[in-house]
Amino acid sequence: MSFTKLLAASVGAATLLASSAAFAGDADSCKKVRLSDVGWTDIQATTGVASVLLTALGYQPEVIQLSVPVTMASLKNNDLDVFLGNWMPSMTADIKEYTDEGSVETISENLSGAGYGIVVPDYVAAGGVKTLTDLGKFKDKFSGKIYGIEAGNDGNRIILDMISKPENNLEGFELVESSEAGMLTQAEQSIKDQQWIAFLGWTPHPVMGAMNLAYLDGMGDSGFGAATVHTNVRKGYLTECPNVGGFIKNLSFSLDMEGEIMDAILQGADANTAATDWLKKNPDAATPWIAGVTTFDGGDAAAAVKTALGG
């Protein structure tokens, strides 16, 4: 081979290797991955799983506690990269402005088979409360209260809207805003005492799953009912950070998985610890999530995850 051909071949091989490495890994600006935690146990669980695996892949996850409205604004302003908790259709009003303008992108559905809405204990349902309008028939038994979670939450907003509409027969009701933990404490005490209570419920949730509850019918197009959860990223994230973006897009969870991790968190475990324990017990779960993905520096993702989990 002539020197010219040898040089050309060498340059070509070097270019191929360089482009392969660039494709395999991500730019330095992608190493930190900023994720939103809106304070719900299910999102703590999924964000914990993502954080553990991101760390194994050589990235630096940063979990920031934000409300849903601030999460959307932060994605738009490039102050946040990823949100794994876009419950739909209840968050339609929260995200519509951003998706319409393209500043927030929905890249995947990460959970199906979920549920969201106002629930009552089974003994309350047996007592005649099966639909939304039935609540007003027994206002005194409910002390005119429906319990929700943190202020600004989409579920709370939907309940307030329902209360404001005369056709829902909820005149005189008030929404008691609290937190997930505060609401559940109230619900558990009320159920223990066989008192009537209506509160915001969702599936998956290990505590609510252990309660005998009924979702109310008659929610119309409010956003309550069957639900799916989606993954949001800031505009252009998958193009800017294709490797980690591919991993985030691959993430898909199940009701049983989330329920098990949530249960550990509710019993006092740190979200990352609960996620790590689950991943160790289910070592094959990450395989589809890291398909086509490398470590930050272009290494073997499967080997890195196995090492991080002590395999």
CA atoms within 13 A on the CB side of 231: 23
Query: How close are the terminal C-alpha atoms of the chain, in Å?
Result: 47
Q: How far is CA 262 from CA 169, 177, 228, 270, in A?
A: 35, 22, 18, 10
Task: Determine the Cα–Cα distance for residues 155 and 145; give it in Å rounded to an integer.
Answer: 15
* CATH tag, 115-226: 3.40.190.100
pLDDT grade for 311, boundaries at 50, 70 and 90: low
- pTM across the whole model: 0.84
Chain centre to alpha carbon of residue 3: 58
Tens digits of residue pLDDT in 157-202: 999 999 999 999 999 999 999 999 999 999 999 999 999 999 999 9
CA atoms within 13 A on the CB side of 9: 6
Per DSSP, the three-state class of 292 is coil
Residues 6+ apart with CB under 8 A from 159: 118, 146, 148, 175, 200
Tell me, yes or no, if the two domains 27-114+227-308 and 115-226 fold the same way.
yes
Q: Which CATH architecture has domain 27-114+227-308?
A: 3-Layer(aba) Sandwich (3.40)
With 60 as the cut, is the pLDDT of residue 285 above it? yes
Tens digits of residue pLDDT in 51-91: 999 999 999 999 999 999 999 999 999 999 999 999 999 99
Tens digits of residue pLDDT in 144-161: 999 999 988 899 999 999
Task: Determine the Cα–Cα distance for residues 129 and 198; give it in Å rounded to an integer.
Answer: 10
Domain boundaries, the chain: 27-114+227-308, 115-226
